[in-house]
Structure 1
Amino acid sequence: MIETDLGHNDFEWLPTDELDSVLGNFCAALQTKDGQEYSKSALVGIRAGINRHLTSPNVGRIINIMKDREFMASNQVLTGLVKSLKREGKDLSTHKEPIEDDDIGKLYASGVFDETKPETLQNKVLFDIIGQFGHRGREGLRNLKKSSFVVKNDAKGRKFVQMAYNEADKTHHGIDCKENVKAPRMYESNDEFCPVRSFEKYSKKLNAKLDDFFQRPLIKVTENDETWYAARPVGINTLCNFMSTLSREAGLSKRYTNHCIRAYISTKLFTAGFSNRAFMSVTRHRNEKSLTSYIKPFEDEHQAVSRALYPSSSVVEVVNPEKVTLTVTTISSNSIPPSTGNST
């Protein structure tokens, strides 16, 4: 608010109607440092950030600037900005690509998930948690505690890990009763990659003096040491850059981000035939329409699509060296016969 020269250093305490007016003017004046328009995702993110600030314990306003009718005017300003970006072709926001299957194989073969070392064991557990529980925000990861998880057995005696509560993140604030139905489980697999086994080992090696779930790994330890981690939490930037770091260390084909894990899980579950409700419980989406931005073809599927658009050798008949008969059957209705062309 201060940077846009709106003159409201204490905007948090303005009456609702005045706050709506200030927010509308703020949105209309938003530009990057070099004078460019923000993308749609950036605009929505800024609004969500302001809402988190207003409802934080330090401020404590019981409002929702994204949904309450009292803020309809300011939200209409933001909606107008988004429509303007689309009209002018300036909405260049992109969604993350899923991790390729070949790169998943490299991760497990490279040693970055080695369970005999503190740092790589933490890599394995962090990767599993992002994938199995749909974590995307660095704040959500940073705020996880030892008490955030519980290990249980289902009615058939199969062991699994579950969140002890629906912790708040950027879109889930732990106050919506609808979130209670979203309780993903991370089941044991009883193989060398079992996520429950690595989770339990990691939990036992944590420092008893710190409640944070992600603690800084110690350098020199042995398998018999009770503690593998220091009484200091992992930094938020380290968590944010986790997948980027793994991409470099494992020699992956491209630099991935944490969000790419989520895209991989969404695409994998979709291609495996799971219902939208099933993988919404993992990805933590509230709206089925938002799933489409995460479901993208893998590179092998891109290649398969490309190949399908070209005639196969079986439909090409060489009559003589100077004459080739080419028959291509196109994808069309039954009323349209296949085309035949001769070239000399």
Structure 2
Amino acid sequence: MAVNGTRFDNFDEETLTKLVNERDSANTQQVIKTAVNILKDYLREKSLGTISELEGETSEHVNGILRKFYAELKKVDGSRYTKKSMITIRYGLQKYFLKKRDEDIINADAFKKANEMFKSVLVNLKKAGLGDTKHKAPIDAKDMEKLYASEIFSTNTSEGLQNRTIFEYLYYFCNRGRGNLRDIQKNDFNINTDATGRRYVTVTSRQTKNHRGDDLRDNDKEGRMYDQPGNPNCPVATIEKYLSKLNPNNDNFWQRPKKTVDQSMDVWYDNCAVGKNTLNNFMSRLSKDAGLSVKYTNHCIRATCITTLDQKGVEARHIMGISGHKSENSIRSYSERLSENKKRQISDILSENVVPAKSPKLHNSVNGNELATCSSNLQLPDFLDDEFESIMADITAYELAATRTNVCNNIPMSTSGYIPGNFHLNNCNVTINITK
């Protein structure tokens, strides 16, 4: 029964606006705020008024401002933003002007000239070496073997059990490894049995970047983690043991491991959640501790899942069912990548065409002059997910300008014979040329 005889809520305009604003993720809101602050700085430096005044101008005027803004945009130190940073800034402004002016500065015809300039800027950035998109690489097969052979994945220790559980959760459910990872609860996991008798794990769908809950066509991710009977690396057995050892007084799924445990103990984890930063840097830490070939990130686990499925012939539309991608184009960036093994094969094939047939096998040493041979749509841009911190650091440099001193600005640059007297140099050769 309704309270006080009322059926419907009574929301004021402030509450309604808050509901709309909360639709955007925290990352999106930060991107919008940062992009707007950069535009404010530009308007102030160019004496073009305030952003509030710009909101009331004609589309033609705003188009002209944005056209020059895209062309003249630079960091505080005078260097250019990367392609990804430029796309991120424009995305933030797009969201902002949609709210303030109900205009799409990317797709509306009124902003065609501004967007033509934007595309030209990206072309020039590519020429300058700032336009390359570096996708997260999948984990190499040898590194995967090293992980599972290491004590880091031992299910006989609290930390090892948690390490393997985190990894296999990200791998089997194709999770991005950031965002809502910290929010997962124990009751989000369900263990069931299918018609063939195989046991499997499912995870309750939570709000993610691609699944905000505002798309009527949006279906939950359909991934399942099946058991592997007789396999010592059975992922279901791992997660069952992990669940059985969690602290019953804490609902968080990722709990802080106790330092010392034994098999007879019922609880291996403290009544305390693992920190967000610890989870976000999970794979980077594992890469170092396990001595892997490169420093991987959490997103590399997702890339490994998608790449493995693609290479095994799973159709893109089926991969989308667990990855959460909304288009096959998003999957293509993974399927077009070459594995480390394939890159080695290609290089060796090309080398066979260069090295004479009777020459010795490829080796690493070089003797004298011998030829050296080599041994073996209004969505937050996809790349922002795993690279959010680095990109935001790139586009928020201006915020630090007021609180830091650029040493170079304190060194007078002249040809009058001035030599700074406060340098301290050790074990190096210095040549100072003074032009009089």
Q: TM class by shorter-chain length?
A: 0.7 to 0.9
2:346 to 305, 318, 342: 305
2:82 alignment counterpart: 39
User: Structure 2 regions of 5+ residues with no counterpart?
Assistant: 1-35, 45-49, 360-436
- The answer as to 2:150 corresponding to 1:110 is yes
- Quick one: distance in 2 between partners of 1:127 and 1:253? 17
Residue 78 to residue 125, structure 1, CA distance change in 2 (3 Å): farther
- The answer as to 2:221 corresponding to 1:178 is no
1:324 alignment counterpart: none
% same residue: 34
Amino acid at match of 2:348: R
Residue 277 to residue 235, structure 1, CA distance change in 2 (3 Å): same
Give TM-score, length-normalised by structure 2.
Answer: 0.59
- The answer as to 2:296 corresponding to 1:256 is yes
Matches within 5 A, 1:249-288: 249-288=289-328
- Quick one: distance in 2 between partners of 1:228 and 1:117? 8
1:154 to 170, 176, 194: 194
Residue 306 to residue 205, structure 1, CA distance change in 2 (3 Å): same
| Count of aligned pairs | 301
Amino acid at match of 1:249: D
- Quick one: distance in 1 between partners of 2:254 and 2:171? 16
- Quick one: distance in 1 between partners of 2:322 and 2:180? 15
Amino acid at match of 1:117: T
Amino acid at match of 2:81: Y
| 4+ residue runs over 6 A deviation | 21-25, 47-52
Which SS does the other structure have where 2:153 is aligned? coil
- Quick one: distance in 2 between partners of 1:64 and 1:215? 40
Q: What does the per-residue CA deviation read over 1:249-287, in whole Å, with 9 as the maximum and x for residues that have no partner?
A: 111111111111122222211111111122222332222
Residue 311 to residue 84, structure 1, CA distance change in 2 (3 Å): same
1:86 to 123, 129, 134: 123
- Quick one: distance in 2 between partners of 1:262 and 1:195? 16
CA deviation after TM superposition for structure 1 residue 103, in Å:
0.5
Q: Is the 8 Å Cα contact of residues 43 and 78 (structure 1) preserved in structure 2?
A: no
Amino acid at match of 1:232: C
1:323 alignment counterpart: none
Matches within 5 A, 1:174-323: 174-180=213-219, 182-190=221-229, 191-295=231-335, 296-309=337-350
Give TM-score, length-normalised by structure 1.
Answer: 0.73
1:136 to 166, 172, 176: 176
User: Structure 1 regions of 5+ residues with no counterpart?
Assistant: 55-62, 319-344
Residue 220 to residue 178, structure 1, CA distance change in 2 (3 Å): same
CA deviation after TM superposition for structure 1 residue 31, in Å:
4.8
Which SS does the other structure have where 2:222 is aligned? coil
CA deviation after TM superposition for structure 1 residue 95, in Å:
0.7
Amino acid at match of 1:217: P
CA deviation after TM superposition for structure 1 residue 189, in Å:
1.1
1:325 alignment counterpart: none
- Quick one: distance in 2 between partners of 1:235 and 1:285? 28
Residue 50 to residue 211, structure 1, CA distance change in 2 (3 Å): farther
Residue 102 to residue 183, structure 1, CA distance change in 2 (3 Å): same
Q: Is the 8 Å Cα contact of residues 137 and 170 (structure 1) preserved in structure 2?
A: no
139-148 vs 241-250, which moves further: 139-148
Q: What does the per-residue CA deviation read over 1:145-187, in whole Å, with 9 as the maximum and x for residues that have no partner?
A: 122222111121211111222x222232133343326311111
